[in-house]
Amino acid sequence: MPTAEQTSSTSLDLAWVRSQFPSLAQTIHGHPAVFLDGPGGTQVPQRVIDAISSYLSRDNANTGGAYQTSRDTDRMIADARSAMGDFLNCDADEIVIGANMTSLTYAMSRAIGRDLGPGDEIVLTLLDHDANFSPWKALEEKGVTIRAAKFNEADCTLDMHDLARRITSHTKLVAVGYASNAVGTINNVAEVVRLARQAGALSYIDAVHYAPHGLIDVRALDCDFLVCSTYKFFGPHMGILYGKREHLKRLHPYKVRPNTNNIPNCWEWGTLNHECIAGIKACVDYWEDLGRRAKPSVATRREAIVAAHTAIHPHERAMMEKMIAGLQAIPGLKLYGISDPRRFDNRCATIVVRIEGHTPLELATKLGDRGFFTWDGNYYALNVTEQLDVERLGGFLRIGLVHYNTMEEVERMLAALKEIV
Ligand SMILES: Cc1ncc(COP(=O)(O)O)c(C=O)c1O
């Protein structure tokens, strides 16, 4: 996971991390709550809560007005945009803010689809969340042909040969996930972007699941679009779209007439959730603070974000190794995805299993009663559960680790699961 940008050693102050998240101190039926539901949405640090509430109590206004709180709102949105620019390594005017990744992707598929018709093709993958599948598949109604690349069932990795074969001179766009929110596989998105570019196609990366786990650098990737959701990386329930400036300018969004033609605002519809945008800036502040604590010598916000990722990576890796080794020792348990520790660079700490004789819902419910928050089902990665033929069986039990989890929680989770089965 670490990139060339992440070189020098850093350390994670886990006690400080946990002290930032008030919800982690909760108990359920007398058991300490263990948040293994990060892939569905992470907890937020106190500063995000404070930013939201302080915006509402002080600055609450619409944008573009000739008075103080409106000007403050304009400034706050500009700050959040620039913070997200540092988070993804792009310019602030390439950051589009929206309700969530799904609506941003539908908006972009509609806009890109305006110029497409019969003879044009779009390449998708069966490993993706449905939010990076259905919005593109909807363009079939314009005569566009959809081609979906397979994944290898044995280890749930993308079949890169199949993907490469499906990209042709007719391909107009390739949409791929950075990491799977079901089986945890990290895809070689740099190679997918290269293949798309070689064919003259656009690349659209769904980084929603990857964002809490690994550093994103849209400049290094050279992708055309990348989407993520701040509620998956310790921020409020909002979505972010990065688009290369040339595309945001060239494409035509569906929009109301009084809205500006300037980017990025022309891609943002109606009045946005300003209080949550205030929370986005606070979320990036958290990442920056985490990085500066891990590596005090960093100069810029971007360098601090890089240092934060360098610090959390070994911790997530160690928890994942322990969790996967422990799970595999449970009789009747089947783990889906990469299980060989030598290949753990190609996966993140999102783990799905099934256990003979127990439905995922039953396991999640029993774990939930003991304070362990896991998920059951398909998590909208519908093609994955259908291809692996577990959709009709209730999908998987998903255990998601992020950097605020602890080794002790991993041990307790394994003990609870053993007791249950
Ligand atoms: C990989 C992935 N992509 C897309 C989405 C959809 O994100 P949003 O809820 O912001 O629309 C999710 C949500 O779980 C996801 O995990």
Confirm if 283 and 235 have CB atoms less than 8 A apart: yes
Based on the number of CB atoms within 10 Å of its own CB, is 197 exposed (0-12), middle (13-18) or buried (19 or more)? Answer: middle
**Displacement of CA 360 from its chain's centroid (Å):** 23
User: Does residue 181 line the site of ligand 1, with CB under 6 A?
Assistant: yes
Is the confidence at residue 209, as pLDDT, over 90? yes
Contacts of 107 (CB under 8 A, 6+ apart): 98, 253, 254, 267, 269
Measured by CA distance, the residue closest to atom 14 of ligand 1 is: 40
User: Does residue 208 line the site of ligand 1, with CB under 6 A?
Assistant: yes
Dist. CA 208 → ligand 1 center (Å): 6
Percent of the chain's residues with pLDDT above 70: 98
User: Does residue 346 line the site of ligand 1, with CB under 6 A?
Assistant: no
Confirm if 223 and 189 have CB atoms less than 8 A apart: yes
DSSP character string of 136-147: HHGGGGGTPEEE
Residues 138-197: tens digit of each pLDDT: 999 999 999 999 999 999 999 999 999 999 999 999 999 999 999 999 999 999 999 999
Among 37, 124, 125, 129, the mutation site with the greatest number of ligand 1 atoms within 8 A of its Cβ is 129
Single pTM value for the model: 0.97
pLDDT value at residue 11: 85
Residues 69-116: tens digit of each pLDDT: 999 999 999 999 999 999 999 999 999 999 999 999 999 999 999 999
Confirm if 93 and 244 have CB atoms less than 8 A apart: no
- Residue 186: beta bridge partners? 179
Judged by DSSP in three states, 399 sits in strand
Between strands 34-35 and 95-98, the pairing is: unpaired
pLDDT value at residue 289: 98
Dist. CA 68 → ligand 1 center (Å): 36
Judged by DSSP in three states, 55 sits in helix
The average pLDDT across 115-124 equals 98
User: Does residue 288 line the site of ligand 1, with CB under 6 A?
Assistant: no
Dist. CA 129 → ligand 1 center (Å): 7
Among 209, 226, 348, the mutation site with the greatest number of ligand 1 atoms within 8 A of its Cβ is 209
pLDDT value at residue 48: 98
pLDDT band at 282, cuts 50/70/90? very high
Q: Which amino acid is residue 277, in one-letter code?
A: I
